[in-house]
Each structure stands twice: as structure tokens, then as C-alpha cells.
Chains A and B, each alone.
Chain A
Amino acid sequence: MSQVLFFIAAIGALAGAIGVVTLRNPFYSVLALAFHLVCLAILFLLLRAEFVAAAQVVVYAGAVMVLYVFVVAYVGGGDELAGGSALRILGPMFAIALAVELCIAMLGSALKGITSKGAPYVLGFGTPGHIGRLFLTTYLFPFEIASVLLLVAAVGAVVLARRRRGLEEPDEQLLVRIRAPRPAYTGTMAEAAGTRVAETVPPPEAEAVGAASDSREEGGW
């Protein structure tokens, strides 16, 4: 039973990984990675790492993938053009060579445990209780460092992706169009309904610059 499950999950994980690399549309790549992560969580369960599997599904396949989907939707993942870079041929060849080398290194190693099914199972192996005790006793320092690292990454992401004002000159044509004097009682519904006084004076400079900023800036997140 566990062998069947292993092969299903391993083939699923490998297929998901190949899908991430080969699919043209980045959105489908993200979906393939989510499938890959779920299959990997099954492998973790087979290795009796319950807490890691749960964290994998919740944190990776849940939170991180949502982040990816948002950014792909924002940037608009267009299909990339097939380029003539030499790396497009050399990269896969290097990867195949690396795979052969890694398989030789691992299967030819003298580690006796590799051919076994692992150490005898102790009750409670890999449960949140055991992991939590390790985190708060032996590995307390890495635990605290990880929290600081998460904080720094969150602040860094906000600083990197924030909206910057005044980087580029506003579009000259758009400024002229906005500033052009307009006869009274033409144009907007507000003037026709009488709720807004018609103005023939051009709006102040600051407003025009604000209106002329790029439409990409409007829908920030």
C-alpha cells in the first residue's frame, strides 16, 4: 500500500516539477507547482513527518501560492518568446549530467541506511509536540533568528514594491488635454445636473500631475 502511494506521489511530484519548467504561461506554472507541493506533502507523510507535511500544505500550497497568483495576475504573465540563448540548450544538458552524478553519488555511497526502510518507528515521531519541543529547547536560537528574518523580509518587500512618486515626467499630451479650457455646460454629468459649477479656469498643476500619472499606479495593492 505504501509503495503504491509512494509511486503515485513521486510521479505526481516529478510531473508537477516538469510542468513548472516547461509550461509557457507562468499562471499554469504556478498551478503545476501547487500540485507538486501537494504530492510532496504526501511523500512527507509517508516519511512520517506529519507536521512538516501540514506546514507544507498550509504555508506553501496555501499562502505562498496565493502570493504568486496575485503577482502573476498583476504583472500579467505573457508567454515568453523563444530566444536563441545558448543556455536554453546547455541548461537542460547540465541538469541531466547533474542528475546522473547525484544518482551515482547517492546509490553508490556506503551509507547502509539507504537500502533500509529507516529507523524503527517511535510513537509520536514527527508530531507537532516533538517538533515544538525541539524548537523551544535545542533549536531556540534558529527559531528566533527565523522570526527576525521573516520580519526583515516583510519590511523589505514593502519597501521594494511601494509606490514611488516623482520618478518619471508626466505625459505631456495628457497634460495639455486636461488643461484645455472647456466651454461651460459641456462635458460632465455633474454640470448638467447643476451640482457642480462649470469652470473654464484650468485646474492647478498638482491635480493635473496626479491625474496624468500612469494607470498602473492607480490599482496598487
Chain B
Amino acid sequence: MAIGWYLVVSALIFCIGVAGVLSRRNPLVILLCLELMLNAANLALVAFARMWGGEDGQVFALIVMVVAACEVTVGLGLVVAIYRRHLPVDVDELNELHG
């Protein structure tokens, strides 16, 4: 398959992730959609690595995976802390900072 097909799939997955982050309210699902966006970036990186015939893009994808794992641990820690304090697990209700 031509590399362009992979890039189109990557773009579509990224946009689905964007739609999820913008429209969902559960922080767990927002974290899942962030994972989708990071994975789309990974797919594009690996596709470009295949296009150029170098492995540097794959190394980059592995580093992105490490960063995603860190983001997941801290994000889930935040969700658990929110739940322990009896606050609603809903990003629309958690507006004390008025962001």
C-alpha cells in the first residue's frame, strides 16, 4: 500500500480523538481520546520512517509511547484523587479554576 493511505488513516484517527476530547465529559474517556491522538501520531511517524527507510522514526514512536504511559499514570492518579475527595468525576463540574 502507498504511504499516503497510512497517513490518511492516521489523520482520521487523530480527528476522532480531537472530537472525543472536545465533546466528552468523563475525564477517563478524555484520557482515552488523548491516547487515540498519540497513537495517530505514532502511526504517522512509523509511516514516514518506512517512507525514508530509516529507523529513527520508530525510535521516536517508542519515546512517544513512554510519554503516553507517563501521561496515563499521572492522569489516572488525578482521577483517583478526584474520586477520593468526593468530587464529581466530570470535567464540566470541576471548574474551580475557571479555565
Contacts and interface: CB of A to CB of B under 8 A. Distances in A.
Contacts of A218: none
A192 interface: no
Interface string B43-56: 10011011111011
Contacts of A125: 53, 55
Contacts of A126: 55, 58
Dominant SS among interface residues on chain B:
helix
Interface in B34-82: 35-36, 39, 42-43, 46-47, 49-53, 55-56, 58-59, 61-63, 65-74, 76-81
B77 A131 contact: no
Given A83-B92, A119-B51, A20 B5 contact: no
A167 B50 CA distance: 54
Contact of B83 (A74, A115, A139): A74
Dominant SS among interface residues on chain A:
helix
A157 B76 contact: yes
Contact of B33 (A21, A64, A103): A21
Contacts of A33: 32, 35-36
Given A75-B28, A114-B4, A150-B69, A99 B15 contact: yes
A149 B65 CA distance: 12
B47 to A, nearest CB: 6
A153 B77 CA distance: 10
Interface residues of A, number: 91
B26 A17 contact: no
B61 A149 contact: no
A96 B83 CA distance: 33
B92 to A, nearest CB: 6
Contacts of B56: 134, 138-139
Contact of B66 (A99, A150, A167): A150
Contacts of B42: 40, 52, 56
B85 interface: yes
Interface in A107-121: 107, 111, 113-120
A114 to B, nearest CB: 4
Nearest to B48: A113
Given A67-B73, A71-B80, 20 more contacts: A51-B58, A56-B65, A64-B72, A68-B31, A68-B32, A71-B28, A71-B79, A75-B80, A80-B26, A85-B25, A88-B23, A98-B14, A103-B11, A114-B2, A114-B51, A134-B56, A138-B56, A142-B59, A149-B66, A154-B73
